[in-house]
Homo-oligomer: A and B are copies of this chain.
Amino acid sequence: MSSNDTNPVHELHPEECWEFLRTHEFGRLGYHLADEVHIVPINYAVKDDRLYFLTAEGSKLLGVTMNADVAFEVDEVVDEHATSVVVRGRARHLEGSAAWIIDQLPLRPWVDTEKYIVVEIRADEVTGRRFDLHRPWLHARVDTA
């Protein structure tokens, strides 16, 4: 048996990454704002291997307008496993009829604020990892014998 069998970190196939992205709707956008890196939680939808989210005027929009380079991360911790998928790509503000795509998306904003600007992320790279967790403190046992 190779030592890989005990490696607690497993790379996901790109198709597994997309399936994970499609079956979730909450992630975090990392973007440049001038020379700073910023992160913000966002809910999103996937269509044809692109990600979409809604936003209002603000630093996110300013950031991706000034520098389209973004990262988007979605993760999940369930029992003994954590999964994290990261999309690296380019964001752009969809204007005019391009923004109509929003009508075809299963995009359900979680927070009831006015957000009417559609941003699309085209993926240049999608990577995902599944981690076997080692958290013995969750399994502390009390003997009652």
What residues of chain A have their CB less than 8 Å away from a CB belonging to chain B? 7-9, 26, 28, 30-32, 35-41, 69-73, 75, 77, 82, 84, 86, 88, 108-113, 131-135, 137
Q: Which residue of B lies closest to A63 (CB)?
A: B37
| CB–CB B41/A37 < 8 A | no
CB distance from A71 to the nearest CB of B (A): 4
Q: How far is the CA of A135 from the CA of B26 in the complex (A)?
A: 12
Q: How far is the CA of A137 from the CA of B132 in the complex (A)?
A: 32
Q: Which residue of B lies closest to A135 (CB)?
A: B110
A7 to chain B: which residues have CB within 8 Å?
Answer: 113
Q: How far is the CA of A23 from the CA of B31 in the complex (A)?
A: 26
Q: How far is the CA of A110 from the CA of B138 in the complex (A)?
A: 11
Select A39's contact among B26, B73, B112, B134, beta carbons within 8 Å: B73
